[in-house]
Structures are given as structure tokens and as C-alpha cells.
Amino acid sequence: MTSTKTPEQMKEERIRQLLEGTVPGERYRAAELQQRTGWSFATTRVVIGYAMDRGLLRSEGPKGKRCFLRTIPEETNAGNGAERASLEHYDNAWRTFQSLCMATRR
């Protein structure tokens, strides 16, 4: 009899594979994680999204080349981590907008 994994179990396995060998508090580029796993870049980005949804990774810095991801310490509650990451994103966007307004005002 063949054991079939549910899509949720497959996601969890991919997240575990992605985070293998990473250190909480360290920053990683998406390309570095892609090289570690050997997956395509698109697959790596999707799994990074899954990990971010669970609060295991968060995005730091501006989007693009300088976008870093780092693991959140394990004692953090995953639900709170995802919520905090969302609020940090909002806060960063607000500060960028505020800086732009102040720069054009001068």
C-alpha cells in the first residue's frame, strides 16, 4: 500500500527542507536558499512564501536584489510571527512614504 501525502504535508516537508541548515537570526538571500535546496528559483520563492505565512521567515530590506530573509527564533509563536512580519512590512512602507513626502517638501 502506497502512502499518499496531503498537500499540507508536502508543504511542511518542503519548508523543513528549505530551513535545514539555516540558523535562527541569520540572513539569507533567496538565491542562497535556492542553491542549498537545488530547486528552481520559482519553487524556492513559493516555499519561502509558505514559510513566511507560517512566521518561520520574514523579509528584511527593500525588495529586489537586497531583499534578505532570516529565520525568526524558534520560541516565537508562528501566528504572532506572521502578524508581526505583516505589521513590520506596513511600518516600513509607511516610513518610506513619509520620507518621500518630506524629501519632496523641501
CATH 3.40.50.620 correct for 7-105: no
Instruction: Encode pLDDT of 9-56 as tens digits.
Output: 999 999 999 888 788 778 888 888 889 899 999 999 899 888 888 888
Rg (CA), the chain: 16
Specify the DSSP element, H or E, that contains 71.
strand 68-71
Residues paired with 28 in a beta bridge = 69
pLDDT at 76: 47
Helix (H, G, I), strand (E, B) or coil at 69: strand
Instruction: Encode pLDDT of 53-78 as tens digits.
Output: 888 887 877 666 555 666 555 554 45
